[in-house]
């Protein structure tokens, strides 16, 4: 959540306000505006102790990583694939098999590669403003921070290459809140990313925020792929159809059980998916009644209130049993805005034939302790490996788990 660019933007805003209304400086101060995550809180929630969980920015020793707590369906096995990467979030695989790992608060990008069975991560880039987005195409690694795009060319051959700064070409918004990006190249060779809403819930420019957008790899040709998607931090294309599916985080402070987080099908270019008017299971936001739920496509699946579904990929491997092939695997980072914690797991979504409806089932559990309402890990992204194993990143422990299946 730390960021410098948005602070500058906020400062510029404060300065321009001061120039327009110089008398204000002498007036009693206005009431403090709540932090973005706390907007939309009702008066009776003002003293709620619920707040986003603290990040851990130091390495968790391998012996303390809760891999033995992980529970999976029969025949599946979890092992610790790599660790020592505080804040590990989104993953992308380079052509030489290197896994690139983005982060938020700690500002780093890691690179980790299997060499004769050992995997020692290194810090590839640092001092960035929430470099959550990582994507690879034609040998180039793209790193997307809040308002920065870096391209590392031929990185497999030249692991210490200086990046090309593509920031000006992409010209991304500078807002910190929900400004971190998920990024992936589509089957059309374009770079897709989310642009989240800079608040919990608010009135905003619907052509600038709550979007999934795509660019040509050089940053030109920006197009809106989907509107009204509050904040998607994971998406993928359904194999065989090239239709985009995206996980989405619904608003907070509307109750423990409303609205549900969702999985969306972005079948039509530029289509509006409801936020801020409609979220979850046709839940009309009482503060935003200008448009009705009937105007928007229903989500494909409901993923639970406040569970924070992030990384999401379709299973394209053959290691897992037939029943799992083609399913969407979704890492649920886990709730903070809910008295009884939920999520902290990986679920699968099995789509029906036309892809408009999905069935949600648990897959990876055991990191949430319901007895004392605590958690020991936060699954953040999933990635299918060439051998069909599934990598799962855990931001809380700075680890990557490998999930495999053996009959």
Residues near other proteins, by CB under 8 A: 1-4, 6-8, 10-11, 14, 28-38, 46-49, 51-52, 54-55, 57-59, 86, 105-108, 126-127, 176-177
User: 9 or 155, CB closer to other proteins?
Assistant: 9
Residue 199 beta carbon to other proteins: minimum distance, rounded to whole angstroms: 11
Alpha carbon distance 86, 395 (integer Å)? 7
Strands 109-112 and 122-125: antiparallel
Residue 378 beta carbon to other proteins: minimum distance, rounded to whole angstroms: 15
- How many other β-carbons are positioned within 10 Å of the β-carbon of residue 391? 21
- How many other β-carbons are positioned within 10 Å of the β-carbon of residue 84? 19
Residue 24 beta carbon to other proteins: minimum distance, rounded to whole angstroms: 9
Residue 317 beta carbon to other proteins: minimum distance, rounded to whole angstroms: 34
User: 106 or 184, CB closer to other proteins?
Assistant: 106
| Cβ-contact 163, 150 below 8 angstroms | yes
Can you say how many angstroms the Cα of residue 212 is from the centroid of all Cα atoms in its chain?
Answer: 12
Strands 271-272 and 223-227: parallel
User: 49 or 290, CB closer to other proteins?
Assistant: 49
Structure token digits, residue 217? 């790899």
User: 200 or 404, CB closer to other proteins?
Assistant: 200
User: 22 or 30, CB closer to other proteins?
Assistant: 30
User: 4 or 167, CB closer to other proteins?
Assistant: 4
| Cβ-contact 66, 369 below 8 angstroms | no
Alpha carbon distance 329, 309 (integer Å)? 10
Eight-class DSSP state of 71: B
User: 176 or 211, CB closer to other proteins?
Assistant: 176
Residue 126 beta carbon to other proteins: minimum distance, rounded to whole angstroms: 6
Q: Which residue has the tokens 């793209």?
A: 142
Residue 237 beta carbon to other proteins: minimum distance, rounded to whole angstroms: 33
Query: What does each C-alpha distance from 220 to 95, 141, 168, 210, 213 come to in angstroms?
Result: 25, 18, 10, 20, 12
DSSP H/E element including 301: strand 301-305
Residue 15 beta carbon to other proteins: minimum distance, rounded to whole angstroms: 10
Alpha carbon distance 2, 337 (integer Å)? 20
* Residue 301: strand pairing partners: 263
DSSP H/E element including 296: none
User: 71 or 127, CB closer to other proteins?
Assistant: 127
Handedness of CA 376, 381, 248, 328 (dihedral sign): negative
Residue 183 beta carbon to other proteins: minimum distance, rounded to whole angstroms: 22
- How many other β-carbons are positioned within 10 Å of the β-carbon of residue 370? 10
User: 175 or 381, CB closer to other proteins?
Assistant: 175
Residue 177 beta carbon to other proteins: minimum distance, rounded to whole angstroms: 8
Alpha carbon distance 15, 316 (integer Å)? 51
Residue 48 beta carbon to other proteins: minimum distance, rounded to whole angstroms: 7
User: 26 or 220, CB closer to other proteins?
Assistant: 26
**Strand, coil or helix: 120:** coil
Burial of residue 273 (number of CB atoms within 10 Å: 0-12, 13-18, 19+): buried
Structure token digits, residue 390? 């599934």
């Amino acid at each position: 959540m730390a960021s410098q660019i948005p602070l500058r933007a906020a400062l510029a805003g404060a300065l321009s306000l001061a120039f327009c209304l110089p008398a204000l400086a002498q007036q009693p101060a206005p009431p403090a505006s709540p932090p973005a995550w706390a907007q939309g809180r009702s008066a009776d929630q003002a003293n709620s102790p619920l707040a986003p969980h603290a990040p851990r920015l130091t390495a968790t020793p391998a012996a303390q990583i809760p891999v033995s707590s992980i529970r999976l369906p029969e025949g599946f096995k979890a092992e610790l694939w790599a660790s020592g990467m505080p804040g590990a979030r989104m993953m992308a695989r380079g052509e030489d098999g290197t896994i690139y790992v983005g982060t938020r608060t700690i500002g780093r990008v890691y690179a980790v590669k299997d060499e004769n069975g050992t995997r020692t991560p290194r810090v590839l880039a640092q001092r960035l403003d929430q470099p959550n987005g990582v994507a690879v195409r034609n040998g180039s690694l793209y790193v997307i921070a809040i308002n920065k795009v870096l391209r590392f060319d031929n990185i497999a051959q030249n692991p210490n290459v200086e990046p090309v700064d593509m920031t000006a070409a992409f010209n991304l918004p500078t807002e910190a809140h929900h400004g971190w990006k998920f990024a992936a190249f589509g089957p059309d060779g374009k770079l897709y990313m989310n642009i989240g809403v800079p608040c919990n819930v608010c009135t905003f420019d619907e052509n600038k925020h709550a979007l999934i957008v795509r660019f040509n790899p050089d940053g030109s040709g920006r197009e809106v792929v989907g509107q009204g998607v509050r904040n998607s931090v994971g998406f993928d294309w359904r194999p065989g159809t090239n239709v985009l599916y995206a996980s989405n985080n619904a608003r907070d402070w509307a109750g423990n059980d409303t609205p549900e987080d969702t999985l969306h099908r972005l079948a039509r270019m530029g289509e509006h998916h409801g936020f801020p008017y409609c979220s979850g299971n046709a839940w009309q936001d009482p503060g935003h009644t200008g448009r009705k739920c009937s105007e928007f496509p229903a989500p494909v699946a409901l993923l639970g209130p406040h569970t924070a579904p992030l990384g999401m990929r379709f299973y394209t491997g053959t290691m897992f049993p037939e029943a799992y092939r083609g399913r969407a695997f979704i890492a649920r980072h886990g709730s903070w805005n809910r008295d009884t914690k939920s999520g902290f797991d990986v679920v699968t979504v099995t789509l029906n034939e036309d892809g408009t409806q999905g069935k949600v089932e648990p897959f990876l559990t055991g990191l949430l302790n319901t007895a004392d309402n605590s958690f020991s890990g936060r699954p953040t992204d999933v990635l299918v490996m060439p051998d069909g194993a599934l990598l799962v990143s855990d931001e809380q422990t700075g680890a990557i788990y490998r999930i495999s299946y053996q009959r």
